[in-house]
Each structure stands twice: as structure tokens, then as C-alpha cells.
Structure 1
Amino acid sequence: MSRKRLYAALALLALVTGCSGNASADGAAKLSLDAALPTTVPDGPKIVVGDPTTEVALKLSGQYDKVSKYVQFANLSGGPQTTEAFRAHALDVGSVAEIPPIHATWTGLHVKIVASKFRKDPLNHPIYQLGIAPGTTVKTLSDLRGKKIAYSPGQAQGALVLKVLQKAGLTKEDVKLVELPSTGDVYVNALAAKQVEVAPIGGVQIKRYLAKYSKDGATTIPHGIRDDAGHLYVPTESLEDSGKAAAIRAYVAAWGVAQIWIDTHPKEWIQGYYVKDQGLTESDGQWLVDNAGHPDISADWSDAIQRQQATIELLAKETGNKVIQAKDLYDLRFQAVAADAIKAGAK
């Protein structure tokens, strides 16, 4: 989505929802961020959610009507769009990878993670591989020295590049980082045009890149690093509104159940999402399902917080930002919400 279209979408959302972003705009007392979460969603308040994938899952699984009473979905995703929507007070929940909550905090936006999803056996089911441009020889991570590498600060792919360099014993000075947005086919096109020699590419782009350019010498290599984090995060002002906090809690529960439905209904998901919604072929959808593995949604975020802290410290060192505490990014009141809903649904 272009910036112009994004701003138009945000303006429309603000108009339709009446979202002021100020939790106490109606004079109601704020809900403390350490108060118990309300468990009943009142009539009236709605949250705006940028989570298009889960929206489709809820519709396919027949659960959409249960959340439509308190959720309005926005066709927004990814860190930059979500953060801008938060700043415009037009969004309450965003679905992103590991980096946007960190980056948002560094830019002065107060956010909290309220749900986390990972992959079982993540090293065998990575989200990204390192795409290697035709004519470039990179077979191991040590071969990255001196190469032009696509880099997107503030996004998951950018953090992955820094982690890969760290694992290889290299620094930013040992390579040439080329700043490019990681949206759409930008990285694939940059590799094909040899604008960069290495770029992290994910999803069906891996399959399509090799199918189209392997005859010219294009390859991919694994990076061997966990890249499977997926979060729902929210501006703290939404959590300070008791009605919205209750709706966010209910959405997190529905989100958890939806992730398991996706995993246990692969045929329906391929047809309903990858083919009908995303316009992919059935074989592309099957490839994505096969390579995704199974979701891991835990009621204990301790390990996730520890990994997040390591990421923060690496990024802070490389970007000059202040080290923040990962535990402060997580709202632990939500820690077991999705996992408990999954358990209840399995009974």
C-alpha cells in the first residue's frame, strides 16, 4: 500500500470508527495497566484490528460473527503501516513480527505485546531464507563478507540481517548494506537485477525466485537462526480503556483458536486463503503450508522475552538506540489468554 493510500485509509478509519485514540476522551477513568483485565465486553465499544489473515481464518472457521460485535477489521499489516495507524489513533491491534514493537518504542510510541506465536521446530521451518543473486557465490554465512545485502531498518528482515552477520562473526563494516523496503517483490527484483547480492526472502517468494531465476544461477541458503516470532501488539492507550481492554482480551482468545484452526484445516486454508483471498495457485499454497510447520502458542512467555532481549541488545548496539527491557514490552496479563482459549476449545 502506498503512503498516500495508507493516509486515506487511516482518515476513513478515523471517520468511520470515531477513534480519538484518547482512552479517557469520554471522561471515563483510565484502566490501570496493572489492573485485572475485564472479562466481559460491553455493548458499544469496538476495536479496530489490522490482522487480515486472522480475519479470513475467522470467516472460514465460522467464528467471525462472534467477534464482529466488537471488532472492525482494517486491511493493514506490517510494522510501518501499523505504527502509522497507531500514531493516527485509527488502530487498536496490529499483527506483526518481532521488530515493530521494539522500533515503535524507540520512536516514542507506547505499545504492549498481547499475544505471541512461534513455530514448532523453528530451525527446520524458517520464515526466511537468504536469497543469493545470479552470478554470486555464497554457500555459507562466512561468504557474506564484502557482499551487497538488502537491509530494511525497523523491520524483521533488517534485524535478521544483523543476526546473520553476528552469527557469521561479521560486522556491518564487513558488508555493504543497501537500504530497501522489504515490501512486496522489492527484494526479489533487487536480487534479479543484481542491485543486491543477498536478501532475506520469505514465503512463496522463495519458491518463485528459484523457479524463475535458478536457471540463471540464483540460489538460496538457510540462515540457521530463529525467525518465527509473530505478535499482536497494541497502543497502551487502548488498554487504558476498560471496554477496549475487554475486547482486546476477547480478540486474543479468538486469535489463538483461529491459529489452531488454520493448522488443523490445511485444505480449507489453502483454498479459502491462499487461492481465493491471495490469488496464489494451489501448489503455492501447499508449499507454504508444508513449510510453515505447526504453531506454538505458549502460556509462558519467559523464553520469548529472553530472545527478545537479545534482539534488543543487538539492535541497540548496531543502531545507537537505548537498550530497553523486553519484559516491559509484554503485557503479562495476556500471557495465558490465547493458550487457555485453545485448551478450552479442545475440550
Structure 2
Amino acid sequence: MPTHIRAALGAALVAPLLLAGCADNTSSTTTVDAKQVSAKIPEKVDPDTTITVGAPDTQVALKLSGQLDKLPFKVKWANISGGPQCSEAFRAHSLDVCSAAEIPSIHAHWTGLDTKLVAAKFRKDPLKHPTYEIGIAPGADIDTLKDLRGKKIAYSPGQAQGALVLRILAKAGLTKDDVELVELPSTGDVYPSALGNGQVDAAPLGGVNIKRYPAKYGKDGAKTIQHGLRDDPGHLWVPTESVEDPQKAAAIKEFVKYWARAAEWADKHPDEWIAGWYVKDQGLTRADGEYLVKGVGHPDIPADWTSAVARQQKTVDLLAKETGKKTFDAEVLFDLRYESVAADALKSGAGEGT
């Protein structure tokens, strides 16, 4: 079965689970007592060590760049990524590494799931290359952020899109009480469809939906507007129990290096990346792939996480204020032993592929 068909079927099957997962996590009131892991990571990884990784794009980039067979440990690849799927897998002790934005780790902390961020990636010129734009429904009469007052907005708690909605409202001088938040999963074309049929007035749209939504509904008055906020964090996210295991911690350290090189390779080889990932794996058209590559911009992988932690703290404080949760020190979400690993790997240049 082609990958894009599998993905569509998967989205249909996963959507109810995401709703159930979000509902379950939101109802929990247990906040994890997170602490930093301080044990030194072994210099070498045992080649028999196995970690399970949910980062499909990295898997493809490693294969295309010829690096996949160079990993000095064993990997079981899981075709999942993002907060809801990965947090459920973490709870089931069936996943060691996941690709996710910044919000899932915050949500996990508030729901008793002990996790760490072990890699951080942003976008150069993030305001020029935003991850999301705000989709506006036909006839919604929204031209600026302040026009969101009194409107119905698609909202996915525990995910990047949900936090972005709260940040957008804060920028506009509004709170969630000034609008109607409509809880919907942000998978597939749920948000574009909800906008097109008038279920919501506004929704954060990402990826190819930024292009497709106005193309499909523009004749009726649909459009997108910019929000003017940074929305670019990307992380490798792990359960703390995995980095507390010395050999898994060593394997994860090596994986972080390959993850960084894979991101750099994809940036430097756009034609191969479009053909191998967007077209062959994701089932998109060449034009869609070119649009997405142009919109992503170049990766920024910092060696110092000071700014990343500070941005994370602002998000923690905002979410705490808007959801009634207790704020906490965002630094506990980061495993600082990995702070410079990805950036150092890019400096060394070893194994970056051709």
C-alpha cells in the first residue's frame, strides 16, 4: 500500500485516539517531580544497544544520505511523531526517541510523564519562514489579530498549534475567554475542512495546507494571515527513563549527532529531499514539495540552549496562566548533557553524507 494512503488511513484511525489521549491527559492533575539527570554519558555505545525512534523524516534523510547503515547501534523505527502519539508510546514504554515541537514536553510535565528534550532545532529567519499561518474562514470578517475577538478558533490542547493559538491571543490583547475555542485534532485536513464548512472562523494551518486551503476555498473568500510570532521550535524528545539507562543514553547521544547531520543534508540537497521525502514517502506532488522546502528555510541548531530555555519558560508561564496549571522551571525539561552535541556534530562534519 502506498505510503500516502497508509498515512491517510492512519490519520483516520488515530484521530479518535488523539482526542481520547488529550482528554485523558488533560484530566490528570499529577505533575511530575522532574530532576536533571547528572550521570556522565558513556563515551562509546555498545553496538548491541537498541533504541526505538519515532522520527520518520530523519529515517528517510539518513537513508537518502547514505548514513542509515552507519549508526553504531541498533534502531527500531516507529512511524509516529508529534505529541499525542509519542506521549502514549512513552507511557507504554515502547519508544525511546520522538520528534516533536516544544509543547508536548510541557503538557507531559503537567500530566505526570517524566521526559527530557535532548536536541533543539529552529529556523533561520523564523518570522520570514513561519511554521503556521492563520487560516480564515469565508465570511469570518477577520483581517487582523484583534478581529479574533468573539470568533470560533480551532484548538488542540497539548500540541504546538494549541499553544500558538494562546500566544496569538496574548499578542492581540485577548484571552481564551474572549473567544470560543473549539477542540479539534490538528491532523490531516481537519482544520481546513472545519474552516471551509464554517465549523470554526480561524485555525492555525501548517505545511502544505497553507497553500491548499486558499486554493480550494479562496473563491468563497477564504484566506490566511500572518501571526508575526516565532513558531519554529523542533526537538528530539525522550522519556527520562531512557536517558537514565547508560547505554541508551549513549545511543541517544549518537543519534542526536546523526539527526543534526540529516537535517543539514536535507537542507543542502533540496532536490533529493523533495523527491525522496515529500514525493516518494509523503505522496505529495513535486510542486508541493518545492513549496514546503522554500517555506522551511535553513535549520538553526544552537550549541547554547539559553535562548531556547527562555522561550520555553515564556510558553510555560503563558500556558499556566491560561489553563490554571502551576508554572515551573522550564530548564527541567531539557537534558543539558546533550546541549552542544548536535552543533558539535555539524562542526566536525563526520558522516554528513554526500
TM-score by length of 1: 0.90
Q: 1: CA distance between counterparts of 2:134 and 2:229?
A: 11
1:213 pairs with 2:217:
yes
CA distance in 2, matches of 1:205, 1:118: 21
Give the match for residue 333 of structure 2. 329
Aligned partner (choices 53, 59, 70) of residue 66 of structure 1: 70
Shift of 1:302: 0.2
Secondary structure of the corresponding residue to residue 299 of structure 1: coil
Answer with 296-305 or 135-144: which moved more.
135-144
Q: CA deviation at 1:118?
A: 0.2
The aligned counterpart of 2:273 is: 269
Residue 132 of structure 2 is aligned with which of 118, 128, 132?
128
Structure 1 contact 39–249 (Cα < 8 Å) conserved: no
Equivalent residue, structure 1, for 2:108: 104
1:172 aligns with 2:176: yes
Deviation of 1:137 (Å): 1.5
1:4 to partner: Cα distance: 9.9
Q: Are the counterparts in 2 of residues 113 and 331 from structure 1 also a CA contact under 8 Å?
A: yes
Change (3 A) 1:55 1:223: same
- The residue correspondences of 1:6-85 to structure 2 (distance < 5 A) are 33-67=37-71, 69-85=73-89
- Cα distance between partner residues in 2 of 1:70 and 1:328: 28
C-alpha RMSD of the superposition: 1.6
Aligned residues: 323
How far, CA to CA, are the matches of 1:71 and 1:137 in structure 2? 50
Tell me, in whole angstroms, the C-alpha distance in 2 between the residues paired with 1:33 and 1:42.
20
Map of 1:330-345 to 2, 5 A cutoff?
330-345=334-349
Q: 2:254 aligns with which of 250, 257, 279?
A: 250
Within the alignment, does 1:137 sit opposite 2:141 as a pair? yes
Instruction: State the match for 1:11 in structure 2.
Output: none
Aligned CA distance change for structure 1 residues 90 and 188 (closer, same or farther; 3 Å): same
Shift of 1:287: 0.4
CA distance in 1, matches of 2:197, 2:98: 33
**Deviations along 1:129-173, whole A, 9 cap, x unmatched?**
000001112111111111110011110000000000000001111
In 1, distance between residues paired with 2:132 and 2:198? 19
1:5 deviates by 10
Match of 1:239 in 2: 243
The answer to whether the Cα contact below 8 Å between 2:45 and 2:251 also exists between their aligned partners in 1 is yes
On the 8 A contact 2:49/2:73 being kept in 1, the answer is no
Residue 293 of structure 1 is matched in structure 2 by 297
1:222 maps to 226
Asked whether the equivalents of residues 252 and 337 of structure 1 are also in contact (C-alpha less than 8 Å), the reply is yes
1:27 corresponds to: none
Q: Is the 8 A contact 2:135 2:205 kept in 1?
A: yes
Question: Identity over aligned residues, as a percent?
Answer: 64
Distance 2:337 2:242 in 1: 14
In terms of mean alpha carbon deviation, does 114-123 or 70-79 score higher? 70-79
Question: CA shift at 1:68, angstroms?
Answer: 7.2
Call closer, same or farther: CA 1:187–1:5 in 2, change over 3 Å: closer
Does the C-alpha gap of structure 1 residues 4 and 194 become closer, same or farther in structure 2, counting only changes over 3 Å?
A: closer
Structure 1 unmatched runs, 5+:
8-31
Cα distance in 1 for residues equivalent to 2:264 and 2:195: 35
Alignment partner, residue 201 of structure 1: 205
The 2-side partners of 1:287 and 1:228 are apart by 17
Matched letter for residue 289 of structure 1: V
Pair 1:281–1:73, CA change in 2 (3 A): same
Residues 145 and 260 of structure 1: is their aligned pair in 2 closer, same or farther, counting only changes over 3 Å? same
SS of 2:349's equivalent? helix
* Among 313, 316, 319, the residue aligned to 1:312: 316
Could you tell me whether the CA contact under 8 Å between 1:47 and 1:70 is conserved in 2? yes
- Where in structure 2 are the equivalents of 1:108-119 lying within 5 Å? 108-119=112-123
What is the alpha-carbon distance in structure 2 between the residues aligned to residue 86 and residue 96 of structure 1? Answer: 13
Distance of aligned partners of 1:65 and 1:6 in 2 relative to their CA distance in 1, 3 Å threshold: farther
The equivalent of 1:182 in structure 2 is 186
- Provide the C-alpha distance between the structure 2 equivalents of 1:49 and 1:171, rounded to a whole number of angstroms: 37
- The residue aligned with 2:282 is 278
For residue 69 of structure 1, report the CA deviation from its aligned partner.
Answer: 3.4
